[in-house]
Amino acid sequence: MINGLLDITLAVPEPDELVEFWRRRGLSDSADLGSAERPGFLKITDGPYRHLAELHLGCESEQDLHDISRRLAALGVAAPVSDTTLRVEDPVFDHIVTVDVVGPRTLTAGPPRATNGPGHAPRRTARAEVILESHPRPPRRVGHVVLATPRHVEANAFYVDGLGFRVSDKMLDGVLTFMRCESDHHNLLIQPSSVSYLNHYAVEMDDVDAIGAAGTAVVAERSEADVVGIGRHLLGSNLFWYLTDPAGNMFEFFADMDQIDDDELWDGEIRRDDWTPDEAGLSIWGAAEAPDVFFEPPDLAAIGAAREARGKR
C-alpha cells in the first residue's frame, strides 16, 4: 500500500523567486527545498503557468507497485513499473505521479514549548520561548495538497481506486473527498471547480506559535499574501493559516492534524460521507467562511486558458 507523501514539484514562471521565498522561511539552501530530516520535500521548476508538476509518493513493497499498476490498468490508465518505481500521468490534472518503494519515515518532535495554563504552569520566571526566537521555526514537511477540478469523480477514482488512497471523510457524498496515504486525516483533497488546478499545498509546522510567527513574517513581506487564518478546521481538526506565495499559489501553514492509526475503527464509527458545508464549514473557530479567492484565485481564467490551449480542461 502507499505509505507516504514524499515531496511535490511546483512549476511556476519565475522559479528563482519562489525558491528564495521558501529559503527565507528556513528551508534548506539548495535547489530542492527541505530540512535535514526531509530533504527536498518541495521542488520548484520552470513552467509557463503555475501548476503541480509532480506528486511523489512512497509504498511498502515492489508488489504494491504491481498492484497499483494493475488497478490503474483496469481504469484505462497505463502505469509501467521499472525496478522499484512506478510513474504515471494523472489523467485529470496531467502532472506526473511517481511511486517509489521506501521504508517508514518519521520526524523527531520539535523542541517542546513550556505552556502555562490553569493549574499547570511549567514556565516560571521566564518569557515564552517564541518571544525569544530570532527566526520563526521552519516547516517540517509537505503534508497535503488540494486539487480542484470539474472532473472530480474521475479524479477520485484515479487516486482511491487506482493509487490506493484511503478515504477519511466526504462532503456531499464525494463532491469533496478527503483522503490519506499516511496516518494524517488527509494528504490529498479533491474538490470541484470549473478548471482543473492546484488549489493549495500545505506544510506542517510545530505548533500554533510556529504558524503565527511564520505567517506574520510572510505578511510583513507582502500584506496581500494573507488569505484566511488563523483558525481550526473541523475535518482534520488542524490549525491553519492560508497565504499566497510569490507565484500566486495558495499554501497553508498547518499543525495538529488528526492522526488515524486504526482504519477499521475510523471507517466503522468516525468517518462520514455526508458532511454538508453548513456542518463542516471552514473552521470551528476563526473565520466562519473562506473568501471568494480561496476557491477562485485571480489567475484561474489564465490557468484554464493555458490548459485549454493544450487540449485540457
Amino acid at 42: L
pLDDT at residue 94 greater than cutoff 90: yes
Residue 36 has pLDDT above 90, yes or no: no
CB proximity list for 181: less than 8 A, separation 6 or greater: 1, 2, 3, 4, 5, 57, 163, 164, 165, 166, 187, 188
Characterize 63-101 residue by residue with b for buried, 16 or more Cβ atoms within 10 angstroms of its Cβ, and e for exposed: ebbeebbebbeeeebebebeeeebebebbbbebebbbbb
What would the pLDDT profile of 172-204 be if each residue is shown by its tens digit? Answer: 888 999 999 999 999 999 999 999 999 999 999
Position 115 scores a pLDDT of: 93
Nearest alpha carbon to residue 57 among 211, 187, 217: 187
Which cell goes with 1? 500500500
- Average pLDDT of the residues in 264-279: 95
In the numeric block, the cell 522499484 is attached to 84
Residue 132 belongs to what H/E stretch? helix 129-132
Q: What are the φ/ψ torsions at residue 148 (nearest 5 degrees)?
A: -120, 140
- Asked if 237 and 283 count as a contact pair (C-beta separation under 8 A), the reply is no
Phi/psi at 302 (nearest 5 deg)?
Answer: -65, -40
Q: Domain boundaries in the chain? A: 2-104+139-309
Residue type, 88: V
Distance CA 14, CA 11 (A): 9
Going from the C-alpha of 273 to that of each of 36, 78, 146, 154, 170, the distances in angstroms are 38, 30, 18, 17, 4
Q: Residue 38: helix, strand or coil by DSSP?
A: coil
The mean pLDDT value of the chain amounts to: 95
Q: Which residue, 177, 201, 180, is CA-closest to 189?
A: 177
| Residue 75 DSSP code | T
| More reliable by pLDDT, 172 or 18 | 18
Share of the chain above pLDDT 90, in %: 92
Strand 188-192 relative to strand 197-204, pairing: unpaired
Q: pLDDT category, 84, cuts 50, 70, 90?
A: very high
Pick the CATH number of 2-104+139-309 from 3.30.390.10, 3.40.50.1980, 3.10.180.10, 1.10.10.10: 3.10.180.10
pLDDT, tens digit (0-9, with 9 covering 90-100), for 100-141:
999 878 899 888 899 999 999 999 999 999 999 999 999 999
DSSP state of 223: G
What local confidence, expressed as pLDDT, does residue 233 receive? 97
Mean pLDDT, rounded, for 284-297: 95
Residues in the chain: 313
Q: Which cell goes with 54?
A: 509532480
Q: Computed from CA positions of residues 296, 174, 309, 13, in that sequence, does the dihedral angle turn out positive or negative?
A: positive
Q: Which helix (H) or strand (E) is 308 found in, with range?
A: helix 300-309
Half-sphere exposure of 140 (CA within 13 A, CB side): 17
Residue 158: φ, ψ to 5°: -60, -45
